[in-house]
């Protein structure tokens, strides 16, 4: 009787699948019908190699690879990877239960930060814009922080993430350098961009420098890792040179400061003399500015006397952020609302709104004094988590722990320094560092599972 029931269920299910396939073929053509037939196989693959999809989602979302290679844009790869990642998370969390959630103090601070951002979204001056940003960016960040911090349970996972970040950074740098040499998408005649005509995030030289700066910490960690093999260190050295050259091509002073801070961190581990490190950092910064040709920039270049136009623009923007916080001390003007409210709070109006060009003032202006306090607490929480990792690793040294901890700490330092001049409060770098740090602390405590 049971076998008879199962057979009839299979026949009925097959009939409905066939009918639905024919309907899709009639209404939308063969592509829709083919997609339906592939759906079960896609779901099976997403579940089986879920870690791969999550890592690819990180890389595509942060490095905007589909915008670097524009022929990929019609494929909507980030959305497909997001769906595959969510399917895998739901399956392994609720059905197979192979995904083991864990909780840390850094998770708690992050949840408080997300909750406060949500409050600032619904109290924003322009709620529609804030809600759109909340749905399009912040919710993804919230989900993926937990997914990454729970999913990466082996040092091999960290190796894949680290290698993916390094290769992606080198790829973006090569495209940027190619654009520079061929004069494609240059801003102000000298500053390189990528896919500016497609309104890509990488179409802004400051944002491009931020994207390229992030893999610098991972490449430098690989290069300075004494336990790494010769070929990986050669690869890291070449990649580091290329990514730094890419940042130099953007002529972003914030990006150059971030690189100087990252390299100083690794140099200090070898030299242990802050004066020598400071002098080397100053020389390196001057050399990079000369190679970048910042003096030739139309804004912020040598052609402008006194305090240049670029610097004054930042001062006016930071003043506007302070005014926003003073007028709305609890929640500021709301998430993603600085630009549209610039006119009402800036002491200087030149006929157009401006971006804030500072992570710290972005948080202050858009989330108020409460927000900047929670944001500082979040960064301190990441730093403390990394300190615990170093402490645990000192008891039973593991080179895999050291190289990942150094990459993350250098990335955090670069974020804090470059954040003075680059707007990156709600973008991926900090939250990738956050999630990887939580996962690394958990793996370090439990020991190498491989």
Q: What is the mean pLDDT of residues 117-132?
A: 94
Listed residues 254, 285, 300: the one ending a domain? 300
* The length of the chain, given as a count of residues: 450
Listed residues 254, 283, 300: the one ending a domain? 300
Answer yes or no: do 417 and 383 share one domain.
yes
List pLDDT tens digits, range 206-229. Answer: 889 988 988 999 999 999 887 778
Q: What phi, psi does 300 have (nearest 5°)? A: 80, 15
Q: Looking at 126-140, 306-320, 326-340, which range is the least confident one?
A: 306-320
Helix axes 205-224, 428-446, angle to 10 degrees: 20
Average pLDDT of every residue of the chain: 82
Number of domains in the chain: 4
Per-residue confidence (pLDDT) for residue 271, from 0 to 100: 79
Q: Is the pLDDT of residue 16 over 80?
A: no
List pLDDT tens digits, range 385-400. Answer: 999 999 999 888 888 9
Per-residue confidence (pLDDT) for residue 295, from 0 to 100: 55
Q: Do residues 285 and 257 lie in contact, with contact meaning Cβ atoms separated by under 8 Å?
A: yes
Per-residue confidence (pLDDT) for residue 104, from 0 to 100: 92
Q: Looking at 9-18, 326-335, 406-415, which range is the least confident one?
A: 9-18
> Which residues in 49-191 belong to E strands, given as ranges?
none
Cα separation of 342 and 125, whole Å? Answer: 12
Q: How far is CA 363 from CA 141, 142, 358, 360, 435, in A?
A: 17, 17, 9, 5, 20
Answer yes or no: do 166 and 29 share one domain.
no
Cα separation of 359 and 93, whole Å? Answer: 34
Q: Is the pLDDT of residue 40 over 90?
A: no
Please, which residues have CB within 8 angstroms of residue 300's CB and are 6 or more apart in sequence? 253, 294, 308, 309, 310, 311
Per-residue confidence (pLDDT) for residue 293, from 0 to 100: 63
Answer yes or no: do 43 and 59 share one domain.
no
Answer yes or no: do 44 and 63 share one domain.
no
Q: Looking at 91-100, 104-113, 173-182, which range is the least confident one?
A: 91-100
Taking alpha carbons only, the member of 33, 34, 31, 82 closest to residue 57 is 82
Q: What is the mean pLDDT of residues 39-59?
A: 63
Quick one: what percent of the chain has pLDDT higher than 70? 83
* Alpha-helix residue ranges (DSSP H) falling in 272-337: 274-292, 309-327
Q: Is the pLDDT of residue 125 over 60?
A: yes
Q: Which residue has the higher pLDDT, 319 or 227?
A: 319
Answer yes or no: do 325 and 415 share one domain.
yes
Answer yes or no: do 234 and 263 share one domain.
yes
Which helix or strand (DSSP H or E) is residue 254 part of? helix 253-271
Q: Which pLDDT band holds residue 37 (cuts at 50, 70, 90)?
A: very low
Half-sphere exposure of 93 (CA within 13 A, CB side): 13
Q: What is the mean pLDDT of residues 292-299?
A: 56
Per-residue confidence (pLDDT) for residue 296, from 0 to 100: 57
Integer distance in angstroms from the first to the last C-alpha of the chain? 48
Q: Which two tokens stand for residue 156?
A: 């091999």
Answer yes or no: do 24 and 76 share one domain.
no
Answer yes or no: do 111 and 91 share one domain.
no
Please, which residues have CB within 8 angstroms of residue 120's CB and are 6 or more apart in sequence? 130, 331, 332, 334, 335, 366, 367, 368, 371
Q: Which pLDDT band holds residue 98 (cuts at 50, 70, 90)?
A: confident
Q: Is the pLDDT of residue 56 over 90?
A: no
Q: Looking at 86-95, 114-123, 147-156, 420-429, which range is the least confident one?
A: 86-95
List pLDDT tens digits, range 335-381. Answer: 999 999 998 998 888 778 888 989 999 999 999 999 999 999 999 99
Q: Is the pLDDT of residue 190 over 60?
A: yes
Answer yes or no: do 373 and 426 share one domain.
yes
Listed residues 300, 333, 350: the one ending a domain? 300
Answer yes or no: do 44 and 56 share one domain.
no
The DSSP secondary structure of 25-58, one letter per residue, reads HHHH-HHHHHHHHHHHHHHHHHHHTHHHHHHHHH
Residue 277: Cβ within 10 Å count: 19
Q: What is the mean pLDDT of residues 295-317?
A: 59
Q: Which pLDDT band holds residue 8 (cuts at 50, 70, 90)?
A: very low
Q: Is the pLDDT of residue 10 over 70?
A: no
Q: Which domain holds residue 448?
A: 106-151+306-450
Q: Which residue has the higher pLDDT, 367 or 22?
A: 367
List pLDDT tens digits, range 70-84. Answer: 888 888 888 878 777
Q: What phi, psi does 83 have (nearest 5°)? A: -65, -45
Q: What phi, psi does 332 have (nearest 5°)? A: 60, -155
Q: Do residues 400 and 448 lie in contact, with contact meaning Cβ atoms separated by under 8 Å?
A: yes
Half-sphere exposure of 13 (CA within 13 A, CB side): 6
Q: Which pLDDT band holds residue 138 (cuts at 50, 70, 90)?
A: very high
Answer yes or no: do 369 and 428 share one domain.
yes
pTM, whole model, 2 decimals? 0.84
List pLDDT tens digits, range 171-187. Answer: 999 999 999 999 998 98
Q: Which pLDDT band holds residue 92 (cuts at 50, 70, 90)?
A: confident
Answer yes or no: do 94 and 163 share one domain.
no
């Amino acid at each position: 009787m049971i076998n008879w029931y199962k057979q009839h269920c299979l026949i009925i299910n097959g009939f409905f699948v066939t009918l639905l396939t024919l309907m899709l073929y009639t209404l939308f053509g063969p592509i829709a019908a083919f997609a339906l037939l592939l759906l079960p196989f896609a779901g099976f693959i997403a579940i089986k190699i879920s870690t791969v999809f999550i890592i690819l989602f990180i890389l595509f979302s942060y490095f905007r690879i589909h915008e670097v290679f524009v022929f990929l844009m019609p494929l909507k790869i980030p959305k497909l990877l997001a769906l595959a990642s969510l399917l895998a998370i739901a399956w392994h969390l609720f059905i197979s239960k192979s995904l083991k959630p864990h909780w840390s103090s850094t998770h708690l601070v992050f949840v408080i930060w997300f909750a406060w951002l949500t409050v600032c979204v619904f109290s924003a001056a322009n709620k529609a814009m804030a809600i759109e940003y909340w749905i399009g960016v912040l919710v993804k960040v919230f989900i993926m922080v937990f997914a990454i911090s729970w999913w990466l349970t082996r040092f091999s996972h960290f190796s894949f993430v680290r290698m993916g970040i390094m290769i992606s950074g080198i790829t973006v740098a090569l495209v940027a350098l190619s654009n520079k040499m061929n004069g494609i998408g240059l801003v102000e005649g000298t500053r390189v961009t990528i896919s500016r005509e497609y309104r890509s995030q990488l179409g802004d030289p400051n944002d491009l420098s931020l994207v390229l700066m992030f893999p610098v910490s991972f490449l430098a960690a690989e290069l300075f890792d004494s336990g790494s093999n010769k070929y990986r260190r050669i690869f890291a050295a070449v990649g580091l040179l290329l990514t730094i050259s890419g940042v130099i091509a953007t002529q972003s002073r914030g990006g150059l400061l971030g690189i100087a801070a990252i390299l100083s961190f690794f140099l200090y581990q070898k030299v242990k003399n802050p004066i020598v490190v400071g002098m080397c950092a100053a020389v390196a910064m001057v050399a990079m500015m000369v190679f970048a040709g910042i003096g030739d920039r139309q804004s912020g270049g040598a052609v402008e006397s006194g305090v240049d136009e670029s610097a004054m623009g930042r001062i006016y923007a930071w003043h506007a952020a302070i005014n926003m916080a003073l007028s709305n001390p609890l929640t500021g003007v709301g998430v993603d609302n600085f630009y549209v409210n610039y006119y009402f709070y800036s002491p200087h109006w030149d006929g157009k709104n401006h971006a804030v060009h500072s992570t710290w003032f972005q948080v202050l202006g858009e989330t108020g004094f409460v927000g900047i306090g929670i944001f500082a607490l979040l960064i301190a929480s990441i730093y403390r988590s990394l300190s615990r990792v170093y402490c645990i690793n000192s008891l039973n040294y593991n080179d895999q722990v050291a190289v990942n901890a150094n990459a993350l700490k250098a990335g955090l330092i670069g974020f804090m320094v470059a954040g003075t001049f680059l707007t990156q409060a709600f973008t991926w770098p900090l939250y990738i560092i956050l999630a990887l740090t939580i996962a690394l602390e958990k793996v370090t405590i439990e020991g190498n599972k491989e």
